[in-house]
Amino acid sequence: MTLRTILHYPDNRLRQLCPDQTEYNNDLKTLISDMFETMYHEKGIGLSAIQINVITRVITIDVSKDRNEKIILINPVILDKREPIVFDEGCLSVPGFYEKVDRYNFIKYQANDIKGKLYVAEATDLLAVCIQHEIDHLNGKLFVDYLSDMKKSKIEKGLIKQKQNPESSKRSENPYIK
Ligand code: QAP
Ligand code: CO
């Protein structure tokens, strides 16, 4: 179990297109357990491997109140999406900033499990939005890319300033955990 460092916007390493995860071995198990440890430590509900600088299509999620419902998505693909909604989103790679993003409130998706077995499932509400957000990461996309240039550059400047003066980086609680 190892806490990994999370990359922060505007780090260009977050902009890579991640290739499929093809090996289902102990390295993958270690990656996933480190991702959950890091995600829980940082009070996140979703984390993609690329956020800890591992360039592969692996996602960990837990949107439950009690933080005990682990979801693993490997090579996820959205098969169907319905019910457009606007959702106020944040990201562990964009700490302290939240903005509205257009998403879908229902998705059907496929993914591999930790043994490589393909499964199909449906998700709604926060889980559905979280999966859409995390799949964007696998394609090098961040929620700030949906915002106006003005909002985006404000966030970029804020995070660069925060890095130069780390005492100002007071991390708030994640408001998505009810
Ligand atoms: C992505 O985000 C997400 O700014 C996961 O100070 C977000 O876990 C999907 C976090 C919203 C759907 C809806 C952010 C924690 C965590 C922060 C997160 C912070 C502390 C964000
Ligand atoms: Co994110």
Q: Ligand 1: which residue has its CA nearest to atom 21?
A: 91
Among 99, 134, 156, 173, the active-site one is: 134
* Environment of ion ligand 2 (residues, CB < 5 A): 91
Q: Look at residue 31 in the predicted model and tell me its pLDDT.
A: 98
Residues 71, 104: Cα–Cα separation, whole Å: 19
Checking if the pLDDT of 175 tops 80, the result is no
pLDDT category at 174 given cuts 50, 70, 90 is low
Q: Ligand 1: which residue has its CA nearest to atom 3?
A: 130
pLDDT for 14-39, tens place per residue? 999 999 999 999 999 999 999 999 99
Q: Ligand 1: which residue has its CA nearest to atom 20?
A: 174
pLDDT category at 178 given cuts 50, 70, 90 is very low
Per CATH, domain 12-169 is 3.40.50.300: no
- Domain ranges in the chain are 12-169
- The two tokens of residue 27 are 């390295």
Q: Look at residue 166 in the predicted model and tell me its pLDDT.
A: 79
Q: Is 91 touching ligand 1 by the criterion CB < 6 Å?
A: yes
Q: What is the mean pLDDT of the chain?
A: 95
Count other Cβ atoms within 10 Å, centred on residue 152: 17
User: What is the percentage of the chain residues whose pLDDT exceeds 90?
Assistant: 90
Phi, psi of 175 (to 5 degrees): -75, -5
DSSP class of residue 17 equals P
Q: Any catalytic annotation for residue 134?
A: yes
Whole-prediction pTM: 0.94
Q: Which helix (H) or strand (E) holds 100?
A: strand 99-112
